[in-house]
Amino acid sequence: MQITFAMHMKDNGTKNSFSQSLLNPDTFTLTYELVPGQGAGGKRIDRLLEFARRAKEDGRICALSITDNAGGHPALAPVAIGSEIQQIGLEPLIHFSLKDKNRNQIESHLFLYQRKRFHNLLILGGDFPKATYYGQAKPVYDLDSIQTIQLIEQMKAGRYRHLPEDNSLDPPLAFLCGCVVSPFKMTEAEQVWQYAKLVKKIRAGAAFIITQVGYDLNRYEELVRFLRDQQVRIPVLANVFIPSPNVARFIARGGVPGILLPPALADLMQNGTKEDRLLRAAAMTARLRRLGFAGIHLGGNGLDFDDVAFVLDQAKELYEKDAPAPTTIHFPIAQGWSLYRSKGEQHTRLRPGTRPGSRPLHHLAHRLLFSKTNPLSRLFAAFCRLCDRHAASRRLLTFTERQIKEILFDCRMCGDCTLSESTYLCPQSGCPKKLVNGPCGGSNGGRCEVFPDRRCFYVRVYQRLDQGTTLDDLAGAVILPPKDWSLEHSSSWINYFQGRDHTTKKEN
């Protein structure tokens, strides 16, 4: 896979310094993550803006990323800080989280960001919403990250579904979209899915990657090797996070979905000084640069710009000296699965399909009824179409489908059935984020981010796949389009045979 992307210019003719830095192979790109909290002002915001001013004076950080309701909590919208950062003269990299936005809100935000000349977006699903006003907010996840990147690519290319064919968005949208991946999963199923979904995001149009926070250098190396094997040439920024000792302890207890911080490292941070933590981050930065990362996405809490400048100075010195990496920056994931055998070139043999359950039976029934080529399927299609002609027969068939599928699949009657694409497990009831194109990054040890007492939906899917399924099979699978919610509560059988469901809309 060869990925190239054009140098981005803003619609006012100015250059996008972030994409310029990313595209230049001689430049090591540095970004820093800002986390706005609740409230429209105050000391926290003053500190963020002071950081931005100092970063601008210093000149090494080319973009400041701004989180979007981080951790599932409501916070000042990134557009507010982004505008002020832009006035300071730095490029904002806006986190575009999908947990709180339906597709109309997504489009509306894209128009807003275009208007504001925020051209760098990091597309991510986002942590599940937390309890706030009168309890937990309703999670949205209307589009997943892959579908959102596809939408943006279509809008950029003028192939946007809402517009008449002879029209296009004026001015055309110009976004540089990045995506995230975690190379730090413990189980085979989670890790294989992470890589497969990453390839799908790149197929959809992602132009750069930022990794999850992690402390296992072997896994960083594995990601570089995986991308090389896949011939993916888009820039990857490694995420180096410098937590305070208390935050490190919180993360080590599983407080932040998808981040594995080993207790031994939390102890080191607890017992060491701030300088130790900064030096460790500097050593990681130097090492990750040697591994071939295009840059570093830095972050932390309780840091001011002097701390970050110290990390950058030390990292440069260590890199130029090619100093050996200290052992205190490498914390292998205990009993973690790895895609490559430790030293050899060989790809680890995958073991999907260890718990196929009732899948073979459902697959047989599906082929008999929905293959459209065998006589039984043709008969069933004629019956469904006949039922669709009258409200009473349509209601009766819908009722029958609901009774059968609720018992067999815990079906939610979305009207656009994707059971056959997910080994006859229903993502609408099985995954709290209702993801249809692969998992989120929040699972931990094979357990769901939202309900840790359950296996992640995609771990269950993996265990039911055909035994010979490869990572390339998963990565190359059709990208399912967004659901048409006008079909909700109607018969997916009728919708399938009448050409109303996703099977007539698949696109890659």
Asked if 437 interacts with ligand SF4 (CB under 6 A), we say no
Two tokens at 351? 């073991």
Identify the residue among 440, 461, 480, 494 touching ligand SF4 (CB under 6 A). 440
Distance CA 458, CA 447 (A): 10
The least CB distance from residue 506 to ligand SF4, in Å, is: 21
Size of the site for ligand SF4 (CB under 6 A): 14
Q: How far is the CB of 450 from ligand SF4 (least distance, A)?
A: 5
Binding residue (CB under 6 A) for ligand SF4 from 64, 413, 435, 494: 435
* 249 vs 267: CA distance, rounded Å: 8
Stretch that binds ligand SF4, among 97-105, 111-119, 203-211, 437-445 (CB under 6 A): 437-445
Residue with tokens 């820039």: 235
Q: Which of 268, 279, 270, 289 is nearest to 217 (CA)?
A: 289
Nearest CB to ligand SF4, comparing residues 263 and 445 = 445
Binding segment toward ligand SF4, per CB under 6 A, in 32-40, 72-80, 196-204, 427-435 = 427-435
Query: Within positions 456 to 475, which residues make up the interface with ligand SF4, using CB under 6 A?
Result: 456-458
Contact pick of 21, 97, 150, 443 for ligand SF4 (by CB under 6 A): 443
Mask for 379-418, x = binds ligand SF4 (CB under 6 A): ----------------------------------------
Closest CB to ligand SF4 among residues 81, 333:
333
Cβ proximity to ligand SF4: between 119 and 201 the closer is 201
Q: How far is CA 339 from CA 220, 231, 351, 395, in A?
A: 12, 16, 11, 49
- Assess contact for 297 and 33: CB atoms under 8 A: yes
CA end-to-end distance (rounded Å), the chain:
15
Q: Which amino acid is at 41?
A: G
Stretch that binds ligand SF4, among 1-9, 32-40, 46-54, 442-450 (CB under 6 A): 442-450
Q: Which is nearer to ligand SF4, 138 or 162 (CB)?
A: 138
Q: Is 200 in the site for ligand SF4 (CB under 6 A)?
A: no
* 215 in contact with ligand SF4 (CB under 6 A): no
Question: 233, 195, 189: which is closest to 211 by C-alpha?
Answer: 195
Other beta carbons within 10 angstroms of residue 343's beta carbon come to: 6
CB of 107 to ligand SF4, least distance (A): 24
Place of tokens 């050996």: 324
Q: Is 85 left (phi over 0), alpha (psi -120 to 50) or beta?
A: alpha
| 446 is an interface residue for ligand SF4 by CB under 6 A | no
Q: Please tell me the total number of residues recorded for the chain in this structure.
A: 508
Residue 99 vs 280, nearer CB to ligand SF4:
99
d(CA 306, CA 303) in angstroms, rounded, equals 8
Question: Sign of torsion, CA 297 332 254 43?
Answer: negative
Among 282, 448, 461, 471, binds ligand SF4 (CB under 6 A): 448
Amino acid residing at 282: A
Peptide bond into 171 cis (omega under 30): yes
Stretch that binds ligand SF4, among 179-187, 248-256, 452-460, 461-469 (CB under 6 A): 452-460
Three-state secondary-structure class, residue 478: coil
List residues binding ligand SF4 (CB under 6 A).
431-433, 435, 439-440, 442-443, 448-450, 456-458
